[in-house]
């Protein structure tokens, strides 16, 4: 197996506050790795370090065969980075943007023109080539930005939140662009807040929390950690909900909707057992449904607990059984208390 990114023991502190603490990250050549994590987890810091824009306090990394410390120029020549601050010049047309950047990269006028045409076609911008970038939609601008970053055909692309702020259609278009890059053998390291995005694009996911990698694996491996089915229990009144909460180890819980989601293997016996125990404890479930775990559930279970010793609390609990989307950072709540004595008690109870 060859790795385009291999970073070990990366540490970074700001004013004595550790932001990255011994982070190891490996991205296989030609694969897509999604770096997930709540706001402030250190994703952008990690990307900036790997892209030579910031020096780590400790740790080593090899990027496309170049040592980050001893050959930052080699690293720089092997990568492109698109982040929040796009390289797009709004006064120029899409084609002019590409040709100008190509010439800055020392392509001849003719070569620049040819490369611009290629990229305009590749990124679905041929029809808009003559329009000023100021008139582009958010999605088109993002694609133009990506196209600019691909002028030099780098083997590694960093995408820091490539679809934040895009509407669903533009997001889909950006996803297919990223997929196409990956199909062409480009290695991609992206950060995202959208778990669905990681699920759609990533071969491997690494979840950062408090500057440490708290989970890694393929999306399917991570989901398998939570068992086969998540059982959603709904309670008729707040008292029953609170009593049940004390005993269960939820993936998420929503006090407003009085729902508690618990990871299970999905066997009838296991569910029957949980329901029986709840009944005995005077906290009978009113309604029960099940759904397959999503990456959101994994994210909430691995980052929620690490954040404040509480399990994740639900966002909008979807009644169709799909997991809640949205800003994961806001979903880490404090309703549930895994690890507490009471919790242990009902875990026993649920057994």
Ligand X SMILES: Nc1ncnc2c1ncn2[C@@H]1O[C@H](COP(=O)(O)OP(=O)(O)OP(=O)(O)O)[C@@H](O)[C@H]1O
| Binding residues vs ligand X (CB under 6 A) | 14, 19, 37, 39-45, 193
User: Closer CB to ligand X, residue 102 or residue 206?
Assistant: 206
User: Closer CB to ligand X, residue 201 or residue 240?
Assistant: 201
Could you count the other beta carbons within 10 Å of the beta carbon of residue 97?
Answer: 25
Q: Closest distance between Mg ion and the C-beta of residue 60, in Å?
A: 23
23 binds, among Mg ion, ligand X, none (CB under 5 to 8 A by kind): none
Query: Can you say whether the dihedral through the CA atoms of 346, 312, 188, 9 is positive or negative?
Result: negative
User: Closer CB to ligand X, residue 39 or residue 279?
Assistant: 39
Contact window for Mg ion (CB under 5 A) among 42-50, 86-94, 167-175, 228-236 = 42-50
Q: Closest distance between ligand X and the C-beta of residue 174, in Å?
A: 17
By CB under 5 A, is residue 44 in contact with Mg ion?
yes
User: Closer CB to Mg ion, residue 161 or residue 254?
Assistant: 161
CB 258 within 8 A of CB 336: no
Q: Closest distance between Mg ion and the C-beta of residue 102, in Å?
A: 29
Report residue 271 as tokens: 């569910």
DSSP letter at 330 equals: G
Distance, in Å, from the CA atom of 43 to the CA atom of 239, rounded to the nearest integer, reads 40
Q: Closest distance between ligand X and the C-beta of residue 281, in Å?
A: 39
CB 241 within 8 A of CB 255: yes
| Interaction pattern, residues 261-290, with Mg ion; x per rule: CB under 5 A | ------------------------------
Report residue 199 as tokens: 């699920």
Distance, in Å, from the CA atom of 303 to the CA atom of 209, rounded to the nearest integer, reads 6
Q: Name the one residue in this structure whose structure tokens are 């005995």.
A: 280
User: Closer CB to ligand X, residue 47 or residue 119?
Assistant: 47
Q: Name the one residue in this structure whose structure tokens are 């900036």.
A: 48
């Amino acid at each position: 197996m060859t790795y385009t990114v291999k970073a070990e023991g990366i540490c970074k502190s700001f004013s004595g506050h550790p932001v990255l603490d011994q982070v190891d990250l490996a991205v296989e050549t030609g694969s897509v790795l999604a770096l997930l994590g709540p706001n402030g987890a250190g994703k952008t810091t990690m990307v900036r370090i790997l892209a030579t824009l910031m020096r780590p306090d400790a740790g080593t990394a090899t990027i496309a065969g170049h040592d980050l410390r001893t050959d930052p120029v080699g690293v720089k020549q092997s990568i492109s980075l698109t982040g929040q601050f796009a390289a797009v010049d709004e006064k120029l047309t899409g084609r002019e943007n590409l040709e100008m950047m190509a010439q800055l990269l020392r392509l001849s006028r003719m070569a620049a023109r040819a490369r611009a045409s290629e990229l305009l076609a590749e990124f679905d911008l041929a029809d808009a080539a003559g329009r000023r970038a100021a008139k582009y939609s958010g999605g088109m601008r993002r694609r133009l930005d990506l196209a600019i970053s691909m002028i030099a055909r780098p083997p590694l692309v960093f995408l820091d939140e490539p679809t934040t702020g895009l509407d669903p259609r533009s997001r889909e278009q950006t996803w297919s662009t990223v997929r196409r890059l990956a199909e062409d053998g480009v290695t991609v390291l992206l950060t995202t807040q959208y778990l669905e995005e990681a699920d759609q694009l990533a071969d491997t996911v690494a979840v950062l929390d408090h500057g440490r990698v708290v989970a890694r694996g393929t999306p399917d491996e991570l989901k398998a950690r939570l068992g086969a089915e998540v059982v959603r229990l709904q309670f008729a009144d707040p008292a029953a909900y609170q009593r049940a909460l004390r005993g269960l180890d939820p993936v998420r819980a929503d006090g407003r909707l009085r729902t508690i989601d618990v990871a299970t293997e999905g066997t009838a016996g296991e569910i029957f057992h949980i329901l029986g125990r709840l009944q005995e404890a005077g906290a009978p479930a009113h309604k029960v449904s099940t759904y397959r775990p999503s990456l959101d559930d994994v994210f909430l279970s691995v980052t929620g607990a690490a954040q404040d010793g509480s399990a994740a609390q639900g966002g909008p609990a979807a009644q169709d059984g799909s997991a809640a989307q949205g800003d994961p950072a806001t979903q880490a709540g404090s309703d549930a208390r895994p690890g507490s004595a009471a919790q242990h008690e009902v875990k026993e109870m649920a057994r």
